[in-house]
């Protein structure tokens, strides 16, 4: 199992999470959650191995004990790396959740602003219709006055 970063998500590029579409953020969140679950399962397996080591050492020879100790140290180092990776992923997930919440708040604010703009547009359209009617009425009155003046 590779404990390094996944090629699917490049963490080295300098981009803002805000530049990513929500679906991409959610996909990454699912990916990290799956990776976190895998690492948790590996830790559980490693913990089971470490609890069984004293029993295994009781039945082994000196060479096997040395090998087991080396193997144990290797596994312990992997577990430490995995725990570090898990901590980093949890921090990243927390940051992503904060960003998601900020974006949701921003989206809600924009929706409210959009509703206000639509109401204002509707008011202005109604005002335009009213003013157009007034202009037509003034034009008709002017035409009638011109007819009266011509007839005199």
pLDDT tens string 27-56: 888 999 999 999 888 888 888 776 665 555
Percentage of the chain beyond pLDDT 90 is: 53
Euclidean distance between CA atoms 80 and 83, whole angstroms:
5
- Domain spans of the chain? 18-114
- 48 CB burial (10 A radius; 0-12, 13-18, 19+): exposed
CA 129 to chain centre: 45
- What pLDDT is stored for residue 54 in this prediction? 56
Tokens of 41: 């399962």
**Chain centre distance of CA 79:** 28
Compute how many other C-beta atoms are within 10 angstroms of the C-beta atom of residue 68: 14
Determine the average pLDDT of the residues in 49-78: 71
């Amino acid at each position: 199992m590779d404990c390094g970063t996944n090629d699917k998500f490049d963490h080295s590029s300098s981009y803002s999470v805000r530049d990513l579409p929500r679906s991409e953020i959610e996909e990454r969140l699912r990916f990290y959650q799956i990776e976190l679950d895998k690492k948790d399962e590996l830790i559980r397996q490693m913990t089971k191995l470490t609890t069984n080591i004293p029993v295994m050492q009781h039945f082994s020879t000196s060479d096997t004990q040395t090998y087991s100790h080396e193997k144990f140290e290797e596994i312990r180092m992997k577990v430490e790396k995995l725990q570090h990776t898990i901590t980093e992923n949890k921090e990243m997930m927390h940051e992503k959740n904060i960003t998601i919440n900020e974006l949701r708040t921003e989206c809600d604010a924009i929706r409210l602003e959009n509703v206000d703009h639509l109401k204002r547009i509707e008011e202005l359209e109604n005002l335009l219709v009213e003013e157009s009617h007034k202009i037509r009425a003034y034009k008709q009155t002017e035409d009638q006055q011109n007819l009266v003046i011509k007839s005199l």
